[in-house]
């Protein structure tokens, strides 16, 4: 007697980690138990990378003192991560589509582990150039691992729950970052700088082990499926990018403008609240955390709503509108002593961020037929390109203008980014309607269409 039912086998035919991503309907009454374990292990994949990304921020004073570096050299720890990732995510996404998640998970987590180990060792022996090399090595694997994690999750989640599980992944990733921000300074005070960095090495090792276990589980499951059903996966080719429709490119640019409008503000937010509104450094830090706390709480809820009701395009438009509205309100609020209104604006920005985190990444598979890894990589590359271009321009506006402590034209630029997000979201609605309306339909209509597909 087979240990997997026919309905489960049908589910797995489109869900193997190395198969092209297809969110096919399945029987929720009898889901394969192994998929819960695989999704759980997929969550662990990025545990280490999100934890160590802000290791330098949590230990900035200690790192500058130990390595004898100024602020410019300190900021290079982030620059060497971001600059390569203008291109690398596209290559990483292509590798995911060509050789599958199984191998890529191991390669990317190993690069992250080696990068953090090199960074930790370099700090211990006081070698700054080697520490930069470690951060660069981490960056090569870090963004690409996000792509691979995305492919694993949507490859094993039911069509009716993909937004929820991706939203939960975003929540867990943010919690990992928050754990670094709060725990690492305390550990460093009670032990040493080197030991506190070793915590990141251990967590990266756990992520690497989860990649190995995932590869073993997928290999055994894929062998069972192929013995019962003869299937030949269609490999993604780089020229297939030409088949990505207008909806995909508009979604990509919307993600770039929207995330830059949020992250660029976060980069200057602490000083913004101190100079414009008179909050202390600690108070400004607490206010800035509102955006990410709201995202952590609401992201899974927004994902559940998306899975239950659909209509993704309206969530994209709403997210773009809320981000723009928050920046308009900041722009219109005069400088004063500790006003409460800007705190409310941060809740609006957090709501926008939670909507974007839940809907954008889960919408990729709705606007392309195959090559989700490459598609994810293209969006990440555009986002990193935006983070290379816009923050310096914001810094230049801050340093060379005086109105509102230099933040008048900074707010104006952030409003422009928000408006570009709104424009691309409205254009996405128009063109997606012409291309079948995959983002415009409710879940009931999508379910009917999927049933018709499976009957054919």
**Got the DSSP string for 434-446?**
HTT-TTTSBHHHH
Check residue 240 and give its pLDDT. 65
For residues 268-272, give the mean pLDDT: 76
Distance (Å, whole) CA 206 – CA 50: 13
Q: Longest Cα pair distance anywhere in the chain, in angstroms?
A: 77
CB 195 within 8 A of CB 55: no
Report the C-alpha gap between 139 and 381 in whole angstroms. 13
What would the mean pLDDT of 161-184 be, rounded to a whole number?
80
pLDDT surpasses 90 at 115: yes
Which of these ranges, 13-27, 157-171, 275-289, has the smallest mean pLDDT? Answer: 13-27
Tokens of 426: 């409205």
Residue ranges matching CATH 1.20.1250.20 in the chain: 40-235, 240-456
Q: Average of pLDDT values for 150-164?
A: 76
260 vs 266, which has greater pLDDT? 260
Q: Given this model, what pLDDT does residue 32 score?
A: 61
- Residue pair 151/93 in contact (Cβ under 8 Å)? The answer is no
Q: pLDDT band for position 447 (50/70/90)?
A: very low
Name the residue among 436, 255, 412, 230 with its Cα closest to residue 324: 412
Chain segment 181-232, per-residue pLDDT in tens: 778 888 888 888 899 999 999 999 999 999 999 888 866 555 444 444 433 3
Q: Quick one: average pLDDT of 393-416?
A: 85
The CATH code that applies to domain 40-235 is: 1.20.1250.20
Say how far apart CA 299 and CA 33 lie, in whole Å.
25
What local confidence, expressed as pLDDT, does residue 78 receive?
A: 79
Predicted confidence band at 235 (pLDDT cuts at 50, 70, 90)?
low
Average model confidence (pLDDT) for the chain? 79
- Show the CA angle centred on residue 94, arms to residues 93 and 97, nearest 5°: 90
pLDDT higher than 80, residue 157: no
- The more confident residue out of 163 and 425 is 425
- CATH node for 240-456: 1.20.1250.20
- The confidence score (pLDDT) of residue 219 equals 67
pLDDT at residue 119, as a whole number = 95
Q: What is the mean pLDDT of residues 60-88?
A: 80
Residue 233 has pLDDT above 50, yes or no: no
Tell if the pTM clears 0.95, that is, is over it. no
Specify which residues 442 forms β-bridges with: 310
**Mean pLDDT of the region 173-184:** 80
pLDDT tens across 346-358, in order? 999 999 999 998 8
Average pLDDT of span 234-248: 70
Task: Kindly tell me the burial class for residue 59, based on how many C-beta atoms sit within 10 Å of its own C-beta (0-12, 13-18, 19 or more).
Answer: buried
């Amino acid at each position: 007697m087979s240990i997997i039912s026919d309905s489960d086998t049908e589910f797995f035919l489109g869900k193997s980690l190395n198969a092209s991503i297809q969110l096919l309907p399945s029987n929720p009454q009898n889901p394969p138990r192994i998929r819960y374990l695989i999704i759980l292990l997929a969550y662990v994949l990025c545990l280490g990378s999100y934890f160590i990304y802000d290791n330098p921020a949590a230990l900035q004073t200690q790192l500058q003192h130990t390595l004898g570096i100024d602020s410019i050299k300190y900021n290079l720890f982030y620059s060497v991560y971001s600059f390569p990732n203008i291109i690398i995510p596209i290559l990483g996404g292509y590798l995911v589509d060509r050789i599958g998640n199984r191998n890529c998970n191991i390669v990317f987590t190993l690069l992250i582990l080696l990068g953090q180990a090199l960074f930790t060792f370099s700090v211990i022996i006081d070698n700054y150039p080697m520490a930069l090399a470690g951060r660069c090595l981490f960056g090569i694997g870090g963004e690409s691992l996000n792509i691979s994690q995305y492919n694993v999750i949507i490859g094993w989640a039911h069509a009716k729950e993909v937004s929820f599980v991706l939203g939960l992944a975003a929540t867990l990733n943010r919690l990992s970052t928050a754990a670094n921000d709060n725990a690492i300074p305390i550990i460093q005070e009670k032990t040493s700088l080197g030991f506190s960095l070793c915590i990141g090495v251990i967590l990266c090792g756990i992520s690497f082990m989860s990649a190995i276990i995932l590869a073993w589980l997928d290999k055994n499951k894929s062998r069972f499926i192929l013995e019962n059903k003869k299937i030949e996966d269609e490999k993604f080719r780089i020229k297939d990018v030409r088949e990505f429709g207008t909806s995909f490119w508009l979604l990509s640019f919307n993600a770039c403008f929207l995330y830059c409008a949020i992250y660029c503000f976060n980069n200057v937010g602490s000083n913004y609240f101190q100079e414009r509104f008179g909050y202390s450094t600690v108070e400004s830090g607490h206010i800035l955390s509102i955006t990410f706390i709201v995202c952590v709480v609401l992201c899974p809820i927004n994902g559940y709503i998306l899975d239950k009701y659909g209509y993704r395009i309206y969530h994209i438009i709403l997210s773009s509108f809320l981000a723009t509205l928050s920046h308009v309100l900041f722009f219109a609020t005069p400088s004063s002593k500790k006003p409460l209104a800007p705190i409310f604006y941060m809740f609006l920005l957090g709501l926008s961020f939670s909507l974007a985190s839940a809907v954008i990444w889960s919408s990729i598979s709705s606007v392309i037929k195959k090559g989700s890894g490459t598609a994810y990589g293209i969006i990440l590359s555009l986002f990193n390109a935006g983070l290379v271009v816009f923050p310096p321009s914001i810094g230049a506006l801050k340093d060379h203008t005086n109105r509102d402590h230099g933040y008048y034209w900074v707010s104006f630029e952030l409003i422009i980014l928000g408006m570009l997000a709104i424009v691309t979201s409205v254009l996405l609605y128009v063109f997606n309607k012409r291309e079948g309306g995959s983002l415009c339909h409710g879940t009931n209509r999508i379910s009917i269409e999927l049933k018709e597909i499976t009957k054919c």
